[in-house]
Chains A and B, each alone.
Chain A
Amino acid sequence: MKLIKKGLLDTWQGLPSFGLQHEGIPPGGAMDTFSLQIANALVGNDLYDKVLEMHFPAGVYQFETSTLLAICGADFRACVDNVEVPLNQPIKVPPGAIFSCKKPVSGQRVYVATRTLHDEQVSRVKILPWSMNPENVFTDEPIRILCGREWDQIKACSQQCFLSRPFGISPTSNRMGYQLIQEPLKILPSQNLISSAVTAGTIQLLPSGQIVVLMAGHQTTGGYPRLAHVISADLPRLAQKGPGDSLRFTLTDSMTAEYEWILVQNYLQQVRNVCTLKLSQHRFDHH
């Protein structure tokens, strides 16, 4: 893929890479790991392969070879050669085709997975006749959280507010963290915390009473009270929310968090298997 015009924040992202946090190196990776993996599955890549993560305005790219691509995550009215193409569906494009995005409709980040078609010369854009519908993942249900170690550092009334009121998302939010917009929470007096590890999804309470949700680009350690943690299964959904969206939290338990994570992982594996089957069937029919 050749860059024609740079986007606001286009980066190649895969799954988080662990193992170096003791050196202060965060795992990073895609914000919405679910869409990343669906995009990879649709083109027959490994689920963890790196794909292009883009924000709006997204970059403009030209394909240099015949390519199979899939666009997942945010709806930015993605186009190939200025014609809108569907999300969550494999698309074959000829060499020279240009990828662009028209306008942000929903979601914050789009993922474009590609695979070079070595044994096939594509002459025109062709949308393959199957798709994956991620509607059951990207719901408007409240984001599920687990209590953090310092959940008791806000007053009971603030705990109530936290679990009942909708939050806004500040435009200053980025890959490192989301700053939430709300009435400052009422903090109980407490001792200074000693810095320790944090993870993606950790909800930190700032001294001002404001809150920050750590996202994929978070630092490895932090010294702010940890009010709660977003469950891993809900992080992709949170990653597609942004300024203008409203956000609600609900408490869950670690059994549920584990169960939901297993469900998502099993679903992704199923999608990958189905897509691999479809692609090989398609190749067979094609030749």
Chain B
Amino acid sequence: MRILLVEDDALLGDGLAAGLKLAGWSVDWVRDGEAARLALLDQKYDGCVLDLGLPRRDGVSVLKDLRGRGDATPVLILTARDTRDDKVAGLDAGADDYLTKPFDLLELQARLRALTRRAGGQAAPTLTHADVTLDPAARSVTREGQVVTLSAREYALLHDLLAHKGRIRARAELEESLYAWGEEVESNTVEVYIHHLRKKLGSDFIRTVRGLGYVVGDAA
């Protein structure tokens, strides 16, 4: 799952990027409103953490631009502006959630999980298919009640496929979801991770749709 982080403060941005990566997201970090607008135009994100007081373009403007295009990417506003009017303005501009600084990293992670889950049209906090259950909060995967140990990339790939259950995910989409900017994408990595997951979860858990990509469950 890939998140766009928009924060102009170097120290906070650095900490947030690290904190969100620890929670299993791949994070793209931009430091001004204009860069955020371009990134959101360029890339489909699973969520966006947006500061409001930004150089070059205000956060609210970025948000309005995004919603104006009909883009429903979940957006969580993260700002030092804490009056009721600010919150109302932010939510009315199209934000899905609002956190004021200073905040708790664990709370931010949980809210982002909830946002991405709801955006995927899913009600339960865990993702389940067949005998496999993925708990995003605990970052754990079980099969028939037994914990399955996965690497960070394997987990991220499984999370993406379960979150898009029944939809075919192209290799490129999976790569984008797995890798943030500046991270080297090795060729065939997706195939390698799929191979590992099939070994741990059963060979027919992830199906290959020839020429299109991969899918968990029956393709719609």
Are chains A and B native binding partners rather than an unrelated pairing? no
Interface residues of A (CB under 8 A from B): none
Interface residues of B (CB under 8 A from A): none
